[in-house]
Amino acid sequence: MASDQNWSNTGAPSGEHSRGDTLTAPTLPSDQNASGRTLGDAEIAALAEAIASGTLTPTKGTFVKRLEQRFAERLGSKHAYACSSGTAAIHAAIAAVNPEPGDEIITTSVTDMGALTPIVFQGAIPVFADVDHVTLNVTAETIAARISERTRAVIVTHLFGNPCDMGPIMELAHARGITVIEDCAQAYLARSGPALVGTIGHIGCFSLQQGKHVTTGEGGLITCNDADLARRLRMFINKAWPYGESSPDHEFLALNYRMSELQGAVGLAQLGKLDNVARTRVANAQELNDLLDGIDGLALPRVHPGDVHTYWKYCLRVDETVIPGGSDALGAALAEQGIASAPRYIRKPAFQCRVFSEQNTFGTSNWPFNLARSEAIDYAPESYPGTFRGLAEVLVLPWNESYTREHVSFIADAVRNAVARLTNGGAA
């Protein structure tokens, strides 16, 4: 979805030095290159070892197995599996749930497309819940409103690193016998209450894509505490071949979504840096919170009391009745000062993308949408007040563990300047 493009020029905006100001804008570290990634000697050494071993498949090598073991240990999860992407992780989770064609999976329309299309590939119907306009996260209330006889699972996305309020969501899911899949692609080491995300629901899905907290370029991780679901997860990413079991057979429809040892080596080294990455992102965000406190028309990130937000991105909400032009105008004013932001994030809810609005799926069949209850595929904007308001107000700032004090105060000054200019009717 558009989110991939929004960040392609993060930290290297083309107009950066074009204003001829005396003030030279620092170039912000970017997660798209070495300036904002923690890739270094540890990754190179591990990669060299993997290559020297001559074994690059995880079915025979040791790096992916160690990555899985250490990730499970770090999260306190019984099982963890590495796979080829966050999308593959979500696909494996849906396949583990094993919905009947036309069964419903409740999800959010403010997410990455890779969290949605796997539902359709497994023959299930994505049913979009509305979100809280403040956090852009689904809630127990918005999920409850979409539950039907056919609901098999819910995917909760901890958007931007800010955890969903999991207590009431798990209560609802337990009461209705619904499997909970946590999409933690943006939320490594975030906590809902005392619990790490990815260990609260039945299955946790993570991405190791270039722009996430830690990366192998492309890659994914899955966590699970349930033995039966775990077996199906592991099978699904291995063509349903149960490695290590007696009398194995290809038991069900599945794919090869394995991670290679090359990625496993890099991932293992990256995992050693994850705690520090998360800690620094939180500390930097607290600094920006302090610097931006009290600006009229701007709302700072709101975290549920007792939770930990690990700031994949730093989001502001812009009140356009106070700041003329709202998030779009503020984003444009920041771009002039060398800061690439994403006003309105993905700009439109996922259900307005053609894959859903035109049901472009398998040939001309519309399958599986032709099996859906009409309420399940009702995308009327009136049903999504939180989604539209939240997307209209949000301004997403790139965020990074490599930001220094100077970078953070540069961002704060730029935001203050931009708001001052906009609220003075455009006068500089």
Ligand X SMILES: *Cc1c(COP(=O)(O)O)cnc(C)c1O
Residue 183 within binding range of ligand X, rule CB under 6 A: yes
Collapsing DSSP states into helix, strand and coil, what is residue 408? helix
User: Which helix (DSSP H) or strand (DSSP E) does residue 220 occupy?
Assistant: strand 220-224
We find the least distance from the C-beta atom of residue 401 to ligand X, in angstroms, to be: 17
185 lines the binding site for ligand X (CB under 6 A): yes
Question: What is the contact mask toward ligand X in residues 219 to 258, using x (rule: CB under 6 A)?
Answer: -x--------------------------------------
Task: Tell me: does residue 209 bind ligand X (CB under 6 A).
Answer: yes
Q: Is the dihedral of CA 354, 356, 357, 359 positive or negative?
A: positive
Helix spans in 293-399 (H) = 326-336, 354-357, 385-393
Alpha-carbon distance of 196 to 194, in angstroms, equals: 7
Nearer to ligand X, 16 or 401 (CB): 401
Run of H or E including 234: helix 227-236
Contact window for ligand X (CB under 6 A) among 111-119, 139-147, 228-236, 261-269: 111-119
**Any contact of residue 86 with ligand X (CB under 6 A)?**
yes
Give CA–CA dist 65/80, Å, rounded.
9
Specify the stretch interacting with ligand X by CB under 6 A; choose among 120-128, 180-188, 190-198, 240-248. Answer: 180-188
Q: What span, in angstroms and rounded, lies between the C-alpha atoms of 393 and 384?
A: 14
Cβ of residue 108: shortest distance to ligand X, in angstroms?
9
Q: How many residues bind ligand X (CB under 6 A)?
A: 14
Rounded least distance, CB 350 to ligand X, Å: 11
Closest separation between CB of residue 355 and ligand X, Å? 15
CA atoms within 13 A on the CB side of 314: 25
What angle, 0 to 180 degrees and rounded to 10, lies between the N-to-C axes of helices 326-336 and 385-393?
A: 30
CB of 257 to ligand X, least distance (A): 11
Distance in Å, CB of 4 to ligand X, minimum: 8
- The residue from 6, 30, 38, 87 that contacts ligand X (CB under 6 A) is 87
- Nearest to residue 90, comparing CAs of 109, 101, 74, 105? 105
Helix (H, G, I), strand (E, B) or coil at 222: strand
Whether 214 and 121 have beta carbons less than 8 Å apart is answered as no
111 binds ligand X (CB under 6 A): yes
114 binds ligand X (CB under 6 A): yes
> At its nearest, how many Å lie between ligand X and the CB of residue 340?
18
Q: Which range of residues in 106-114, 239-247, 258-266, 316-324 is near ligand X by CB under 6 A?
A: 106-114
Spatial contact of 350 and 128, defined as CB atoms under 8 Å apart: yes
Q: Is residue 157 near ligand X by the rule CB under 6 A?
A: yes
Residue 11 makes contact with ligand X by CB under 6 A:
no
336 binds ligand X (CB under 6 A): no
Among 107, 186, 223, 263, binds ligand X (CB under 6 A): 186
Which part of the chain contacts ligand X (CB under 6 A), choosing from 68-76, 132-140, 178-186, 420-428? 178-186
For ligand X, the closer of residues 218 and 320 by Cβ is: 218
Residue 90 Cβ vs ligand X, minimum distance, rounded to whole Å: 6
Residue 141 buriedness (CB in 10 A; 0-12 / 13-18 / 19+): middle
Q: How far apart are CA 245 and CA 339, in angstroms?
A: 54
Least distance from ligand X to the Cβ atom of residue 111, Å: 5
- 142 lines the binding site for ligand X (CB under 6 A): no
Please state the closest distance from residue 293 (CB atom) to ligand X, in A: 28
What lies within 8 Å, CB to CB, of 182 at 6+ separation is 155, 156, 158, 197, 198, 200, 201, 203, 204, 205
Half-sphere exposure of 324 (CA within 13 A, CB side): 8
The nearer residue to ligand X, 120 or 418, going by C-beta atoms, is 120
CA distance 156 to 141: 13
Residue number with CB closer to ligand X (142 or 337): 142
Q: Which is nearer to ligand X, 111 or 337 (CB)?
A: 111
How many other C-beta atoms are found inside a 10 Å radius of the C-beta of residue 106? 28
Inter-CA distances, 292 with 331, 364, 416, Å:
16, 51, 8
Least Cβ distance, residue 222 to ligand X (angstroms): 12
Which of residues 122 and 186 has its CB atom nearest to ligand X in the complex? Answer: 186
Which one, 311 or 410, has the nearer CB to ligand X? 311
Q: Which residues lie near ligand X (CB under 6 A)?
A: 85-87, 111-112, 114-115, 157, 183, 185-186, 207, 209, 220
